[in-house]
Amino acid sequence: MIKLTINGRSLSTTPGTTVLEAALAHGIDVPRLCYHPELSVSGGCRLCMVEIEGIANPVASCGLLCAEGMDIRTESEALSEMRHDIIDLFVSDHPLDCVTCDKAGSCQLQDYAYQYGITETSHDKEISRTLYQDDNPFFLRDHQYCILCGRCTRVCNEVVGAEAIDLVGRGFTSHVATPFDGPMINSDCIFCGNCVQVCPTAALLPMSRLGKGREWEMERTKSICGYCGVGCEIEYAKKNDKIIYAQASKAQSVNGEMLCSKGRFGWDFVSHPERLTTPLIRKDVAYEMGLTDEPWELSDRSPLKARKVVIEDSFVPVDWETAVTLTAAKLAQTVKKHGPDSVMGLASARCTNEDNYIYQKFMRAGIGTNNLDHCARL
Ligand code: SF4
Ligand code: SF4
Ligand code: SF4
Ligand code: FES
């Protein structure tokens, strides 16, 4: 272990830890914008500067490894002035639209502007990035809000591996670009939205979120994504009981802050008006069981080929007990008549491990078939 002092507090940490990580791990907050715990160090924003005893100039703590006996200060008048000037520069190239901005309330630039008392820039204002791209249904790119922290490019290149975007140009022409600055939809982007998650400002926003309410009005519900067996932890931002957007729940061990496109953007089924919410029995079977007095015959035309299936035309809603009893009877009948391999089971990742264990046991030992699969393989 390495022993060091931060703001007069004696601490110990493991070799290989940066000063920023050591400070954060011990509850000492250090302003930062380009740093992200799951990405490589960029060192671009300079906001995380700290003073080290014996070193003349402040050093960026996100790229500085802890060393035995270091004496570090994360706060001083000089550091505050420096951070104030950095935010002032960011704001000189950023519209101060916080009153109407969808990111207000969860924007790190806004937080630091508040912290350092910056209401407007002391420099000449010049908005150098004007890209506005809404060419896909998943997220908006509005680069007037971009602060060039490079978190999006690092997540895309280092974590996702899609390499769809990178920082190009110099000075006022620097921007996040797709190859040849083409539309996102024509790039190698897989629309996972991890860049949207790590973006500290409104430069990248989920489409579903635009104009749907302020951050502080939204209720957060944590859940587990049901699409596959990884079981990523996910957080839904909801307003009036409707999901507005989904994001990874921060710093979780399974998926960190990352999600795939299904978990992040594939949740609209939840409030879809055609979502099945009760068991349904085909009308001819329901008629035989006396559950409806409307006789009905299965059409020659496959329901899959019908342009729009109207559920009420062909099915009758029933309670779970009726549905399970009927399913058990039909299963037994089929196995008896055609043998165990005439049926197969498909289990759901939304069930627990124990449920899935029981399911495979039921199929193998109860029914007597190995015809079983699981949606996690889809
Ligand atoms: S991105 Fe942040 S700082 Fe910029 S206008 Fe929106 S809330 Fe304000
Ligand atoms: S959505 Fe995913 S693949 Fe596309 S640019 Fe962002 S991180 Fe890269
Ligand atoms: S788009 Fe967002 S994450 Fe990417 S560089 Fe700009 S501010 Fe940073
Ligand atoms: S957080 Fe260290 S330089 Fe940006």
The CATH number covering residue 21 comes to 3.10.20.740
Ligand 2 centroid from CA 21, angstroms: 26
134 part of a folded domain: yes
Ligand 3 centroid from CA 149, angstroms: 5
Is ligand 2 within 6 A of the CB of residue 204? Answer: no
Residues 174 and 242 in one domain: yes
Residues 67 and 97 in one domain: no
Nearest atom (ligand 3) to Cα of 176:
5
Residues 102 and 243 in one domain: yes
Ligand 1 centroid from CA 120, angstroms: 12
Q: What's the angle, vertex CA 357, arms to CA 351 and CA 361, rounded to 5?
A: 130
Q: How far apart are CA 47 and CA 60, in angstroms?
A: 7
Ligand 4 centroid from CA 26, angstroms: 18
Cα–Cα separations (whole angstroms), residue 57 to 27, 51, 53, 238: 24, 7, 10, 46
Residues 28 and 133 in one domain: no
What per-residue confidence (pLDDT) applies to 295? 81
Residues 168 and 203 in one domain: yes
Is ligand 2 within 6 A of the CB of residue 195? Answer: yes
Among 219, 216, 217, 252, CA closest to 234: 252
Domain that holds residue 39: 2-75
Strands 132-133 and 139-142: antiparallel
What per-residue confidence (pLDDT) applies to 314? 83
Sign of CA dihedral 247, 34, 151, 62: negative
Strands 204-206 and 219-224: unpaired
84 part of a folded domain: no
Ligand 4 centroid from CA 302, angstroms: 60
Last residue of a domain, which of 271, 289, 322?
A: 271
Residues 125 and 266 in one domain: yes
Which SS3 state, helix, strand or coil, does residue 33 take?
Answer: coil
Residues 113 and 259 in one domain: yes
Is ligand 1 within 6 A of the CB of residue 104? Answer: yes
Q: How many domains does the chain have?
A: 2
Residues 45 and 136 in one domain: no
CATH number, position 130: 3.30.70.20
Last residue of a domain, which of 223, 250, 271?
A: 271
What per-residue confidence (pLDDT) applies to 88? 97
Nearest atom (ligand 1) to Cα of 105:
7
Mutate to test the pocket of ligand 4, among 18, 30, 45, 109 (most ligand atoms within 8 A of CB): 45
Nearest atom (ligand 2) to Cα of 155:
7
Could you say which DSSP state residue 155 is in?
Answer: I
Residues 7 and 56 in one domain: yes
What per-residue confidence (pLDDT) applies to 301? 64
List, run by run, the mean pLDDT of 10-residue segments along the chain (378 residues). 96 97 97 97 97 96 97 97 97 95 97 96 92 94 97 98 96 94 94 98 98 96 85 94 93 85 94 89 90 78 63 86 94 96 89 90 96 80
Residues 242 and 134 in one domain: yes
